[in-house]
Structure 1
Amino acid sequence: MITDEHIKTFIYQAHRYGDAKLMLCSSGNLSWRIGDKALISGTGSWVPTLSKEKVSICDIASGKPENGIKPSMESTFHLGIMRSRPDVNVVLHFQSEYATTVACMKNKPKNFNVTAELPCHTGKDIAIIPYFRPGSPELAKSVIDAMKEHDSVLLTNHGQVVCGKDFDEVFEKAMFFEMACRIIIHSRMEYDVLTPTEIEDLEVYVLGKISK
């Protein structure tokens, strides 16, 4: 059951992401799984100043809004990710300054692992998909397909999408995504990345994984 506390928490997190300059005005959208329902920022809403009147409650299976508030036009990929990824509870589509600049570059980086934070938190591989019209079925399908194997996606000439188990994890992924792109741009494309061996070393000793 969706409660007022759920909605207050969702609004607080939306404002938190906005305060971090992950999106401007009506750019970007946010969703949160609660049982078999999802809270989604509404069509035309400004996530940085989201209000209760702009929070849509949707059935994840059918995609239908249940409180009369139309969800974001990108709700198709939010709900699609949740259907295909039971481990994902939060999805954020954002357009931060440096990451969106990279999304618009002709020669995009093929490797974003400029610091340890990227493979440790954002994902050692960031999917890059071509441009599709915002809100289109083609965009939704491409994002859903990419998110089956990734937690972070760069949308050409559009923005970024990250997903995770909770609000903190998603915030961390988005912030480190933006940090990596800021480093890449400030380096004027003259940057080093971690080697596969260095990333494996992180997996064993920083993340506590056992290499097999």
Structure 2
Amino acid sequence: MITNEHIEQFIAQAHRVGDAGLTVCSSGNISWRVGDEVLLSGTGSWVPVLPKEKVAVCRLETGEVLNGVKPSMESGFHLGVLRERPDVNVVLHFQSPYATAVACMSEQPKDFNVTAEVPCHVGAEIPVIPYYRPGSKELAAAVIAAMKDHNSVLLRKHGQVVCGKDFDQAFERAMFFEMACRIIILSGGRYGTLSPAEIDDLETYVLGKKTP
């Protein structure tokens, strides 16, 4: 059951995203699973100054709107990712300056692992999704498919999507995604990336995923 406290927390996190420069005006959207229901920023809403009357509440399984507020036109992939990923509770679609510049390049980088934070938090592999019209079923299907086994994706000529177990994890992924793209842009393309062995070393000793 969604409470007023849930809504206030959701609004505070939306404003945090805006304050960090991850969204501008009506760009981007955010969702949060609470039990069997999902809070979503409303269609046309400005995430940086999201008001209570622009917070939609939907049923996770059916997408039924429970409070009369129309959710973001990207609700299809928000709900789809949450259905496919029981380990995920927050989905964030953002359009930060450098990561969106990379999304609009004629050729996207094949490797974003410029610092250890990228494979540790954003993902050693970041799928690049072809351009589909924002809000389209094709875009939703592509994002859902890519995020079944990835936590971050780049949308060509559009933006980015990350997910997380909570607000902090999704926010961290978005911020390090933007940091990596800032390095890529500011280096003028003259950047190095971690080798597979260096990433494997991180997985062993930092993330504890493998036995030394």
Using the size of structure 2 for normalisation, the TM-score is 0.99
* Whole-Å separation in 2 of the counterparts to 1:157 and 1:195: 28
Alignment correspondent of 2:70: 70
Alignment of 1:16 onto 2:36: no
Q: Distance in 2 between matches of 1:65 and 1:136?
A: 19
Displacement of 1:191:
0.6
**1:56-205 equivalent positions in 2, closer than 5 A:** 56-205=56-205
Match of 2:55 in 1: 55
CA distance in 2, matches of 1:90, 1:17: 13
Structure 2 residue 63 is the aligned partner of structure 1 residue 33: no
In 2, Cα distance between the equivalents of 1:31 and 1:125? 23
Aligned structure 1 segments of 4 or more residues deviating by more than 3 angstroms: none
For the residue of structure 1 that corresponds to 2:101, the secondary structure is helix
Q: Secondary structure at the match of 1:18?
A: helix
| Residues in 2 aligned to 1:209 and 1:111: alpha-carbon distance in whole angstroms | 21
Return 5+ residue gaps in structure 1 as ranges. Answer: none
* Deviation, structure 1 residue 208: 2.1
User: Which AA in structure 1 matches 2:201?
Assistant: D
C-alpha distance after superposition, 1:35-82 (max 9, x if no partner):
010000000000000000000000010011100000000000000001
Distance 1:12 1:65 in 2: 22
Percent pairwise identity: 69
Distance in 2 (CA, whole Å) between partners of 1:169 and 1:108 is: 25
**Cα distance, 1:209 vs structure 2:** 2.5
- For 1:187, the aligned partner's letter is S
Q: Separation in 1 of the partners of 2:102 and 2:179?
A: 12
TM-score, normalised relative to structure 1: 0.99
Separation in structure 1 between the aligned mates of residue 112 and residue 210 of structure 2, nearest angstrom: 24
Rounded Cα–Cα distance in structure 2 between residues aligned with 1:114 and 1:174: 15
Consecutive unaligned residues in structure 2, runs of 5 or more: none
